[in-house]
């Protein structure tokens, strides 16, 4: 139970609350959501099982597990995953820090009234461009992450997941009830659940696919590492199904909540489309909580608590990927390894934190030419470049490697004995999994990589 909650906590994060609602918006809802659900089932779920089984069969973290399960050279794939976790953690912490800022703001508004004439777009820009504020926020969040991982898997990670995940659910359900009572909820439900395939663009399929990796924490060894903590008597198939279903449910509920609010306010829809990915969660919603949402003065601050908790259960698993590598492969003790990794990651968090105007050199950083376009999509600023590289290159290549490892390089017997160990549920067919992991998943992931290289599709 502790493990399943920890892994679910890893999966549920900013991807669900911040990224998914926005890409659903951009891709016109309905049909996109359906396609996304198919990607989760056909690609996400099989790879989730593959990562967990590699972890459990070897009882090692990413690098050691791949070396032992597949072959010595595969340690490099594990290392690629560790680097990915490192990079993702460095900038994810900055976004997580924003939730602390908005928590403080919404509490203040609830207590002393909404300031007249405040444009939340300006507020966002001001806080993001304020270097010392950004450093404080992300430092605070890093300390929390290090503080959890420091105490180890059972006393730290699992305990926090056990404690926070139920809180997160309760807040979300309260918000859902409130949102469904708003006038825009009908339109929101229609937008999200009524498929209109005429509005589906070809790239939507790829975007859904790319996001399924991100949201399930796949493609970088995080689930391999967590898999090593599953006990023998537990079914990998069931655990994977629970994680995937909960993650998807949370993403959908969050989307229903946000869209209900947005559709309830005249003119808001145009506003959201203009403010980009960041906009919905940090520009459009904060003010609306105060003025539009039933019980919003209480739910507003609670919502940003929710974002912070969801982010923390993800950052702690990211740090665990990096720290467990140092612990297992270099024989460093947990406490020392956690402090060391946390410290080094924070150096890069500083770069991400000053990417929004605080330090012009970092904000305007750019790699020009064909290589810059290929690797970073021509993005400007450290934060955007890192995000682009992780989402478009590191996760898909790591994911492809895992499908190949589990489907083609490991023996049938090795994977079958892990999945069919007598604990598997009645509906599960090993042959179906094997078909998906050998053929469907690699082709799908390869399509992502091809799209990035040749068609300039952007998953970040
Ligand atoms: N799944 C997380 C989210 O949706 C983000 C994430 C991607 C992640 N890969 C990860 C978290 C690895 C932890 C470990 O926000």
Tokens of 293: 């949402």
Closest residue (by CA) to atom 10 of ligand 1?
A: 217
Q: What was the pLDDT predicted at 211?
A: 93
Instruction: Tell me the per-residue pLDDT of 229-243, one tens digit each, with 9 for 90 and over.
Output: 999 899 999 999 999
Residue 361 lies in a domain: no
Q: What is the mean pLDDT of residues 257-276?
A: 82
Task: Provide the pLDDT for residue 226.
Answer: 94
Residues 6+ apart with CB under 8 A from 25: 259, 272, 273, 280
CA 92 / ligand 1 centre spacing (Å): 9
Q: Half-sphere exposure (CA, 13 Å, Cβ side) for 57?
A: 24
Q: What percent of the chain has pLDDT over 70?
A: 99
Distance between CA atoms of residues 55 and 64, nearest Å = 9
| Within a domain: 275 | yes
* pLDDT for position 200: 86
At 169-180, the pLDDT tens digits run 999 999 999 999
Is residue 33 over pLDDT 90?
yes
pLDDT band at 368 (very low <50, low <70, confident <90, very high): confident
Q: What's the mean pLDDT in 248-274?
A: 88
Q: Domain range holding 92?
A: 2-354
Residue 323 above 90 pLDDT? yes
> Can you say whether residue 29 is alpha, beta or left, with left for phi > 0 and alpha for psi between -120 and 50 degrees?
left
pLDDT value of position 115:
86
The pLDDT of residue 137: 98
Which of 318, 323, 389, 396 to probe ligand 1 with, by most ligand atoms within 8 A of CB? 318
Is residue 250's pLDDT more than 90? yes
Residue nearest to atom 9 of ligand 1 (CA): 217
Residue 363 lies in a domain: no
Å from CA of 35 to ligand 1 middle: 21
Instruction: Look at residues 322, 316, 318 and name the one whose alpha carbon lies nearest to residue 337.
Output: 322
Which residue owns the Cα nearest ligand 1 atom 7? 217
| Ligand 1 atom closest to 18 (CA) | 15
Tell me how far the alpha carbon of residue 314 lies from the centroid of ligand 1, in angstroms: 6
Asked whether the predicted pLDDT for residue 270 surpasses 80, the reply is no
Best substitution site from 15, 248, 306, 387 to test ligand 1's pocket, by max atoms within 8 Å of Cβ?
15
Predicted confidence band of residue 275 (pLDDT cuts 50, 70, 90)? low
The yes-or-no verdict on residue 89 having pLDDT over 80 is: yes
> Mean per-residue pLDDT for 55-77?
95
Question: What is the best residue among 314, 318, 399 to mutate for testing ligand 1's pocket, by most ligand atoms within 8 Å of CB?
Answer: 314
Task: Name all residues whose Cβ lies below 6 A of ligand 1.
Answer: 10-11, 13-16, 88, 214-215, 217, 220, 222, 314, 317-318
Q: What are phi and psi of 293, to 5 degrees?
A: -80, 130
pLDDT for the residue 429: 96
Atom of ligand 1 nearest to the CA of 13: 15
Q: Which two tokens stand for residue 384?
A: 């955007």
Is position 74 within any domain? yes
To the nearest whole number, what is the mean pLDDT of the chain? 92
| Proportion of the chain above pLDDT 90, given as a percent | 75
3-state secondary structure of 422: coil
217 Cα: distance to centroid of ligand 1 (angstroms): 4
Ligand 1 centre and the CA of 131: distance in Å?
25
Confidence of residue 278 (pLDDT cuts 50, 70, 90): low
Does 355 have pLDDT greater than 90?
yes
**Would you state the structure tokens that stand for residue 126, as one six-digit string?**
């001001």
Encoding tokens for residue 396? 């898909």
Q: Is residue 454 part of a domain?
A: no
Q: Which of 347, 348, 346, 342 is nearest to 386 (CA)?
A: 348
Q: Which of 196, 225, 204, 193 is nearest to 78 (CA)?
A: 225
d(CA 139, CA 375): 28
Say if 102 falls within a structural domain: yes
Ligand 1 atom with the smallest distance to the CA of 310 is: 15
Burial-class residue 242 by CB neighbours within 10 Å (0-12, 13-18, 19+). Answer: middle
Residue whose CA lies nearest to ligand 1 atom number 12: 217
Residue 241 has a pLDDT of: 97
Measure the CA–CA gap between 80 and 265, rounded to whole angstroms.
45
pLDDT tens by residue, 90-130: 999 999 999 999 999 999 999 988 888 888 888 998 999 99
Counting ligand 1 atoms within 8 A of each CB, the residue from 51, 148, 217, 317 with the most, and so the one to mutate, is: 217
Give the per-residue pLDDT at 276.
64
Ligand 1 centroid–CA 11 distance in Å is 5
How many separate domains does the chain show? 1
Give the confidence band of 269 by pLDDT, cuts at 50, 70, 90.
confident
Question: Closest ligand 1 atom to the C-alpha of 85?
Answer: 12
**pTM to 2 decimal places:** 0.94
The domain that holds 33 is classified in CATH as 1.10.4160.10
Q: What is the pLDDT of residue 191?
A: 94
Q: What is the mean pLDDT of residues 336-343?
A: 97
Does residue 127 sit within a domain? yes
Please give the number of the atom of ligand 1 that sits closest to the Cα of 219: 9
- Is pLDDT above 80 for 459? no
Residue 429: inside a domain = no
């Amino acid at each position: 139970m502790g493990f399943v909650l920890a892994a679910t906590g890893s999966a549920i994060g900013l991807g669900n609350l911040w990224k998914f609602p926005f890409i659903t918006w951009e891709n016109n809802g309905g049909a996109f959501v359906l396609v996304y659900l198919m990607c989760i089932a056909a690609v996400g779920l099989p790879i989730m099982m593959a990562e967990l089984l590699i972890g459990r069969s070897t009882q090692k973290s990413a690098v050691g597990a791949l070396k032992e399960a597949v072959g010595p050279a595969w340690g490099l794939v594990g290392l690629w995953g560790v680097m990915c976790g490192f990079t993702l953690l460095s900038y994810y912490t900055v976004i997580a820090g924003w939730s602390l800022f908005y928590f403080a703001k919404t509490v203040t508004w609830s207590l002393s009234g909404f300031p007249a004439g405040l444009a939340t777009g300006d507020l966002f820009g001001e806080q993001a461009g304020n270097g010392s504020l950004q450093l404080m926020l992300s430092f605070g969040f890093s300390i929390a992450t290090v503080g959890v991982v420091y105490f180890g898997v059972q006393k730290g990670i699992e305990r926090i997941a056990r404690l926070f995940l139920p809180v997160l659910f309760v807040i979300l359900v309260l918000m859902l009830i409130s949102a469904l009572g708003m006038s825009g909820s009908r339109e929101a439900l229609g937008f999200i659940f009524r498929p209109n395939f005429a509005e589906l663009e070809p790239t939507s399929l790829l975007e859904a696919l790319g996001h399924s990796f991100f949201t399930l924490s796949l493609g970088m060894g995080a689930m391999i590492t967590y898999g090593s903590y599953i006990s023998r008597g537990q079914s990998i198939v069931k655990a994977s199904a629970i994680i995937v279903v909960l993650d998807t449910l949370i993403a959908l509920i969050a989307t229903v909540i946000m869209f209900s609010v947005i559709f309830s306010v005249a003119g808001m829809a145009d506003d959201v489309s203009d403010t980009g990915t960041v906009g919905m969660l940090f520009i459009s919603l904060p003010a609306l909580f105060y003025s539009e949402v039933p019980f919003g003065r209480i739910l507003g601050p609670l919502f940003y608590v929710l974002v912070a908790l969801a982010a923390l259960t993800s950052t702690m698993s990211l740090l665990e990927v990096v720290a467990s590598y140092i612990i297992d492969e270099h024989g460093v003790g947990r406490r020392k390894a956690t402090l060391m990794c946390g410290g080094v990651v924070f150096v890069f968090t500083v770069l991400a934190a000053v990417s929004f105007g605080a330090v012009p050199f970092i904000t305007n950083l750019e790699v020009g030419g064909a290589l810059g376009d290929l690797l970073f999509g021509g993005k400007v600023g450290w934060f955007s470049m890192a995000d682009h590289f992780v989402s478009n290159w590191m996760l898909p290549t790591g994911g492809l490697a895992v499908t190949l490892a589990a489907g083609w390089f490991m023996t049938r017997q090795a994977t079958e004995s892990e999945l069919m160990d007598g604990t598997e549920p009645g509906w599960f067919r090993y042959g179906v999994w094997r078909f998906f992991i050998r053929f469907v998943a690699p082709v799908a992931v390869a399509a992502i990589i091809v799209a990035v290289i040749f068609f300039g599709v952007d998953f970040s």
